[in-house]
């Protein structure tokens, strides 16, 4: 499986013969297009896709099990209501479970953490503007305990996040080939992807 980062919360996942586009920001083609939330940049309207998923539920597409969970973007006790976001979890036939947290803006509830289960690769926003920032992102990572984390939607916050999680020495990669990364249960590893615009 190959994962590329296209900026914002947009990723492309290529698994065997299936192409998944998450939160598209400039059109394109995909077998599966998923939308966690819509704004002025994110839309599936210009994507040529066989299947578009933008609603909570359980799906099976091209032998990939996909769960979409509705979750609030801001804390329940907040004066600001940012609406909701979808959190997607993808189960691939090689045993990997990939989770994209969309535009989550607060800590996950214990119930949501339990629903997500064991996560191989977690894509998490860290920008702090209408999403969680570095500190809350670290708390979410600690609650989920994934094997790998890919930060997204980071703006200028990437250095702060890497410092927060003790990963200042991480080098950016063009893409991730999951066949070439080593899984360990000892600690979560941070992976940083260059924006392939």
| pLDDT tens-digit map of 41-74 | 777 888 899 999 999 999 999 999 999 999 976 6
Enumerate long-range contacts of 46-55, CB under 8 Å, 24 or more apart.
47/21, 49/21, 53/88, 54/86, 55/86
Give me the half-sphere count of Cα atoms (radius 13 Å) on the Cβ side of residue 90.
30
Computed over every residue of the chain, the mean pLDDT equals 91
Q: What is the pLDDT of residues 5-40, one digit of tens each?
A: 999 999 999 999 999 999 998 888 999 999 998 776
Longest Cα–Cα distance of the chain, Å, equals 45
Report residue 92: phi and psi, to 5°: -100, 160
Q: What is the mean pLDDT of residues 135-154?
A: 96
Is the pLDDT at 75 greater than 60? The verdict is no
pLDDT of res. 142: 97
User: Which segments within the chain are labelled E, that is strand?
Assistant: 2-7, 10-15, 18-22, 28-34, 47-53, 57-61, 64-72, 84-91, 97-100, 121-125, 148-152, 172-173, 176-177, 189-190, 192-193
Q: Decide if pLDDT at 104 tops 70.
A: yes
Three-class DSSP labels, 131-165: CCCHHHHHHHHHHHCCCEEEEECCCCCHHHHHHHC
| Percent above pLDDT 90 for the chain | 74
User: Which residues, in sequence order, are bridge partners of residue 124?
Assistant: 151
Is the pLDDT at 132 greater than 70, yes or no?
Answer: yes
Mean pLDDT confidence for 86-110? 95
The domain locations on the chain are: 2-193
Contacts of 182 (CB under 8 A, 6+ apart): none
Domain 2-193, CATH homologous superfamily name and number: Ribonuclease Z/Hydroxyacylglutathione hydrolase-like (3.60.15.10)
Give yes or no for a contact between 87 and 104, defined as CB atoms under 8 angstroms apart. Answer: yes
| Burial group, residue 140, by CB count within 10 angstroms (0-12, 13-18, 19+) | buried
Residues linked to residue 3 through DSSP beta bridges, in sequence order: 13, 176
* Calpha distance 100→86 (Å, rounded): 9
Question: pTM (2 decimals)?
Answer: 0.93
Q: Taking residues 92-113, what's their average pLDDT?
A: 94
């Amino acid at each position: 499986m190959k994962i590329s980062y296209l900026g914002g919360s947009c990723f492309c996942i290529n698994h065997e013969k299936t192409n998944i586009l998450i939160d598209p920001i400039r059109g394109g083609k995909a077998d599966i297009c998923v939308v966690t939330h819509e704004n002025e940049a994110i839309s599936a309207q210009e994507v040529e896709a066989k299947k578009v998923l933008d609603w909570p539920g359980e799906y099976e597409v091209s032998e990939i099990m996909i769960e979409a969970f509705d979750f609030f973007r801001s804390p329940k006790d907040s004066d600001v209501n940012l609406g909701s976001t979808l959190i997607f979890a993808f189960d691939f036939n090689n045993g990997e479970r990939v989770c994209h947290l969309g535009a989550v803006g607060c800590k996950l509830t214990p119930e949501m953490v339990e629903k997500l289960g064991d996560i191989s690769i977690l894509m998490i926003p860290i920008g702090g503007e209408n999403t969680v920032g570095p500190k809350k992102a670290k708390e979410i990572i600690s609650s989920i305990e994934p094997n790998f984390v890919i930060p997204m939607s980071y703006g200028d916050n990437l250095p702060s996040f890497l410092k927060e999680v003790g990963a200042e020495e991480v080098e950016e990669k063009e893409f991730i080939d999951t066949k070439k990364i080593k899984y360990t249960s000892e600690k979560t590893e941070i992976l940083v992807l260059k924006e392939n615009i």
